[in-house]
Amino acid sequence: MSDLFIIGASGTRAYRTAMAAIGENIANASTDGYARRSVTTAESGASTATMAMYVSKGNFGGTQVMSINRGTDPYLDATVRMTGMALGSSTARLRWLSDAENALNDTGTGIGGLITGMFQNMEKLAASPSDTSLRVTTLDSIGRVAQAFTQTAADLEAVSEGIATEADASVSTINRALESLADINNSLLRAQPGTSAYAQLLDSRDAALQDLTENLNVTISFGAHDSAQISFDGQTLVQGNVATSLAVGSNADGTLALTLADGTALATPANGTLGGLFSAADTVADRRASLDTIAEKFVTDMNAWHAQGVTDGGSAGAPLLSYGGGAASVAALITDPAELATRSANGTLNGNLLTVTSTLRGNGSVEQDWTALIAAHGNLLAGVKAENTTAQGRSDQAVAAREAVSGVDLDMEAADLLRIQQAYSASAKILQVAKETVDSILQIL
């Protein structure tokens, strides 16, 4: 008769645990990073017990809870991390390359549009070289181009500074994830596998790994008690309960450099948000260098053209612009309309103006260099947009596949709850029957 009490009691304990797991699932149906819990039960070992010197006894021992399980698939988890890494990289590049495109400002108020307007004003002046108002307009348009170079250089520098700021934030996120993983590793080594606490620690570990891989293309391996071991560029970042921090610095040209906290240089990240920021920083640095080259050429060509001309007073054309080593330093030097060298050396009133097209425009001109710069950046940005769309789709698919295994389906949980409730009631009924039977026997005696 004692078997019935043992079986009934073990059943109620096991199904109470199973109902608690279902309740946990329902309560955390919308919790990010939560993996569905399930309970594994097995026949109690007492049911197979034998006694020495006697034949095997036909005892039944009921059931017992063996472990609390998480509904996860290591392959799907790794796929989500990989696709999230690619999405983080393309998203960062798309955001900052779009900002760089805005900084280049290929509109009527940008460098390209203002250069075209400057040449148009020169053509008008060539038709009426003695018109003082047209001379003023021409000089003003030259000054506006100089200001556009200065503004564009400042805007691109601001983009580089913004990238550096976000890189600092990304590294801070990485360091927090590394420290969190070290703490979780320490707790995992102390926790008992198959328990609810152990499952919670694994949820926290996977969430930290997701944050980490979204920012940096680290190498992940798992050791004792599912503890995570992290490395990057041959350097161990997390081993057991010890974590190593990272640091990021900005170079003079706007590019970035990644190091360990002790200053050890690391390779450029290839993926993740930080990898995307490094790539965007390199691209913007290239754009700034190209802008400086175009600005220097613009100043050199304009001054050379002006020097071949003669003013109304018979003097050779003085420098129109100055260049101090970068696009940000371009400045107009002449404001007096009388100092504009419109004449040719032979005295023709508009002789120098008539050479504008052959000297300043056409093959190898600043206009063509600017158009090439804008086209190159536009093509790169279009490619990054397509890459981001693809990365977003792959990430969504990977998350959906993982959710099919790890996510909580409320309909399924409700059905399981009814089934477990019936089993729990049946186990309680066993106890009730056993009690009534014992009471009847005692009454007979």
- Please indicate, yes or no, whether residues 51 and 177 belong to a single structural domain of this protein: no
**131: pLDDT strictly greater than 80:** yes
How confident is residue 54, by pLDDT bands cut at 50, 70 and 90?
Answer: very low
**66: pLDDT strictly greater than 60:** yes
- Please indicate, yes or no, whether residues 352 and 432 belong to a single structural domain of this protein: no
Report the share of the chain in percent with pLDDT over 70: 96
**402 located within any domain:** no
- Please indicate, yes or no, whether residues 239 and 171 belong to a single structural domain of this protein: yes
DSSP secondary-structure letter at 235? E
The pLDDT tens digits of the residues spanning 241-260 come to 999 999 999 999 999 999 99
**168 located within any domain:** yes
- Please indicate, yes or no, whether residues 140 and 116 belong to a single structural domain of this protein: yes
- Please indicate, yes or no, whether residues 36 and 162 belong to a single structural domain of this protein: no
- Please indicate, yes or no, whether residues 375 and 419 belong to a single structural domain of this protein: no
- Please indicate, yes or no, whether residues 158 and 193 belong to a single structural domain of this protein: yes
What is the pLDDT averaged over residues 339-360? 93
Tell me which of 48-62, 194-208, 291-305 is least confident: 48-62
DSSP secondary-structure letter at 292? H
The pLDDT tens digits of the residues spanning 405-430 come to 999 999 999 999 999 999 999 999 98
β-partners of residue 235 are 232
- Predicted model pTM: 0.90
Mean pLDDT of the chain: 93
Domain count, the chain: 2
How confident is residue 2, by pLDDT bands cut at 50, 70 and 90?
Answer: low
**304 located within any domain:** yes
The pLDDT tens digits of the residues spanning 371-405 come to 999 999 999 999 999 999 999 999 999 999 999 99
- Please indicate, yes or no, whether residues 366 and 222 belong to a single structural domain of this protein: yes
Domain coverage including residue 48: 2-71+408-444
- Please indicate, yes or no, whether residues 434 and 290 belong to a single structural domain of this protein: no
418 neighbors 6 (Cβ within 8 angstroms) = no
What is the pLDDT averaged over residues 284-300? 97
- Please indicate, yes or no, whether residues 194 and 84 belong to a single structural domain of this protein: yes
**403 located within any domain:** no
* Rg from Cα positions in the chain: 37
Report the share of the chain in percent with pLDDT over 90: 87
Structure tokens at 431: 């106890």
Task: Print burial letters for 136-149: b (CB count within 10 Å at least 16), e (below 16).
Answer: bbbbebbbbbbebb
All residues at 6 or more sequence positions from 195 whose CB lies less than 8 Å from its CB, including other chains: 67, 68
**271 located within any domain:** yes
**401 located within any domain:** no
The pLDDT tens digits of the residues spanning 294-314 come to 999 999 999 999 999 999 999
**47: pLDDT strictly greater than 80:** no
**182 located within any domain:** yes
